[in-house]
Amino acid sequence: MSEQRPIGVIGVGWVGLVTAVCFADRGHEVIAMDIDEAKVDALRAGEVPIHEPGLGELLERNRERLRFAARMPEVLDSARLLFCCVDTPPTYSGDADLSRVRAVVSDLSDDGDHLLVMKSTVPSGTGRAIRRDAPDLPYVSCPEFLKEGTAIDDFLHPDRVVIGADPGDEWAGDQVEAIYRPLGGEIVRTDVASAEMIKLAANAFLATKISFINEIANVCEEVGADVTEVARGMGLDERIGPSFLRAGVGYGGSCFPKDVSALKQLAGNSGYHFQLLTSVIEVNELQKRRVIGKLEKHLGSLVGKRVALLGLAFKPKTDDMREASSLVLASRLQGEGATVRGYDPVAENRARELLPGIELLDSPEAALEGADAAILVTEWPEFAELDWESLAKRMKAPVLIDGRNYLDPERLRGAGFAYEGIGRSGDEAAAPAAAAKADSEPEAPRG
């Protein structure tokens, strides 16, 4: 069913742009607004400012149903249903910064003609506070569950759509449901505070799963077990499930770090100390430091060593580098006196802004040339296809720390690498000098 008036989307970041383009693809007229005029101009010209698979094609295909605006009145004049997709970045305290959400609401509060649908991630209680301040503004919470890299598919084929509306606003919830129902997936109707909490709790739980498996990986290293085997065996228990059990250099991105802190803070502000989340955050930080320890085990002091980072984005299929593990690793390596180089298939431009001190190369081969060691930070599929035999020969010392357990250890060792993953059996406890030799035999698996 198509809404008679255009759907308004406020904020054209990742979530807003995907939402706008996907609604247009499902036959709705859409007007999408952002205060960043340069971004609006680019979008009007058909340029997509982010790397998200399929988004450019979908935008192109649906341009006649999509308008972009840089002023709020343009949206308010034509749209009735308004999806708020502005960002809620963390403040220094870890709380969510709601200033952009408030600015949107202040443009609407005196108006009886609009319905606000909150897609931005906000702490539980925000919707009720907005409703109190703007009693004439019907309000629905409809949190987003998109993953960068697969956002289009997640939007068009959702597992579930959560729709929170409080008493008096159920009719508004019905209208949002009518728009989402054709996409399929279970519709969860609930109140606003619970909808807000579902979003934060889901992200915090997934982050907890990651920190948990990372700690299991660390124990595996001590006892000679292999975390990839452990995760496979655990994941077959349907109560646990196989996803988000990939051990590595920790989670990053614009969501997990922010949302875990926001939930911890929300609990703290309400007088409850959320002990578990404190550890989830701490484990995630420590996980990045462990990689530096692994390198030192192979190379000794890192002073003057040349280390290549393969992959800089926080995960594959995106150029997003917010809270990426590469940022922490690069700065720690530099702090230890190493020179850092990096390669990423799509994040080079963002890396240039965020990692000014590192040398960016335009191929993995160039990044590894003459390097003392490499760390695979992002599991881009192209890294599995590399000619590792010839890369081992190009490096000064073929040491590879696989921060995502992405590559085949046997193949890498066969290619001459001193290979070490995260919590994988057979990982080497190499002496610094021994590992520097391309032809050195890998140590026997421990345990």
Residue 62 or 284: which CB sits closer to ligand UGA? 284
Least CB distance from residue 227 to ligand UGA, whole Å? 11
Least CB distance from residue 375 to ligand UGA, whole Å? 14
Does residue 406 interact with ligand UGA by CB under 6 A?
no
CA distance 81 to 179: 10
Amino acid at 7: I
How long, in residues, is the chain?
A: 447
Q: Which of 148, 169, 221, 372 binds ligand UGA (CB under 6 A)?
A: 148
Question: Which residues in the 34-93 window bind ligand UGA by CB under 6 A?
Answer: none
Least CB distance from residue 256 to ligand UGA, whole Å? 5
Does residue 23 interact with ligand UGA by CB under 6 A?
no
Choices 123-131, 242-250, 262-270, 438-446; region in contact with ligand UGA by CB under 6 A: 242-250
CA distance 353 to 315: 18
Q: Which of 251, 383, 406, 417 binds ligand UGA (CB under 6 A)?
A: 251
Least CB distance from residue 214 to ligand UGA, whole Å? 8
Does residue 246 interact with ligand UGA by CB under 6 A?
yes
Choices 144-152, 290-298, 367-375, 416-424; region in contact with ligand UGA by CB under 6 A: 144-152
- The 3-state secondary structure of the chain reads CCCCCCEEEECCCHHHHHHHHHHHHCCCCEEEECCCHHHHHHHHCCCCCCCCCCHHHHHHHCHHHEEEECCHHHHHHHCCEEEECCCCCECCCCCECCHHHHHHHHHHCCCCCCEEEECCCCCCCHHHHHHHHCCCCCEEECCCCCCCCCHHHHHHCCCEEEEECCCCCHHHHHHHHHHHHHHCCEEEEECHHHHHHHHHHHHHHHHHHHHHHHHHHHHHHHHCCCHHHHHHHHHCCCCCCCCCCCCCCCCCCCCHHHHHHHHHHHHHHCCCCCHHHHHHHHHHHHHHHHHHHHHHHHHCCCCCCEEEEECCCCCCCCCCCCCCHHHHHHHHHHHCCCEEEEECCCCHHHHHHHCCCCEECCCHHHHHCCCCEEEECCCCHHHHHCCHHHHHHHCCCCEEEECCCCCCHHHHHHCCCEEECCCCCCCCCCCHHHHCCCCCCCCCCCC
| Residue window 209-228: x/- pattern of binding to ligand UGA, with contact defined by CB under 6 A | -x------------------
Q: Which of 17, 101, 146, 172 binds ligand UGA (CB under 6 A)?
A: 146
Question: Which residues in the 107-136 window bind ligand UGA by CB under 6 A?
Answer: 121
**Per-residue exposure over 39-50, b if at least 16 CB sit within 10 Å of its own CB, e if not:** bbeebeeeebbb
Per the annotation, the verdict on 22 as an active-site residue is no
Residue 87 or 191: which CB sits closer to ligand UGA? 87
| Residue window 307-346: x/- pattern of binding to ligand UGA, with contact defined by CB under 6 A | -------xx-------------------------------
Choices 24-32, 92-100, 253-261, 293-301; region in contact with ligand UGA by CB under 6 A: 253-261
Least CB distance from residue 438 to ligand UGA, whole Å? 30
Please state, in angstroms and as integers, the Cα–Cα distance from residue 140 to each residue in 117, 163, 180, 259, 264, following that order: 5, 7, 13, 20, 24
Q: Which of 134, 245, 295, 395 binds ligand UGA (CB under 6 A)?
A: 245
Least CB distance from residue 201 to ligand UGA, whole Å? 12
The distance of Cα 394 from the centroid of its chain, to the nearest Å, equals: 33
Q: Which has the closest alpha carbon to 151: 16, 43, 312?
A: 16
Q: How many residues bind ligand UGA (CB under 6 A)?
A: 21
Least CB distance from residue 188 to ligand UGA, whole Å? 14
> Per the structure block, which two tokens stand in for 177?
């449901």
Q: Which of 141, 203, 211, 440 binds ligand UGA (CB under 6 A)?
A: 203
Residue 206 or 386: which CB sits closer to ligand UGA? 206
Does residue 138 interact with ligand UGA by CB under 6 A?
no
Least CB distance from residue 287 to ligand UGA, whole Å? 9
Amino acid at 214: N
Least CB distance from residue 5 to ligand UGA, whole Å? 27
Does residue 147 interact with ligand UGA by CB under 6 A?
yes
Choices 87-95, 131-139, 146-154, 366-374; region in contact with ligand UGA by CB under 6 A: 146-154
Choices 106-114, 181-189, 238-246, 337-345; region in contact with ligand UGA by CB under 6 A: 238-246
Q: Give the interface with ligand UGA as residue ranges (CB under 6 A).
A: 121, 144-148, 203, 206, 210, 244-246, 248, 251-253, 255-256, 259, 314-315
Active site positions, annotated: 255
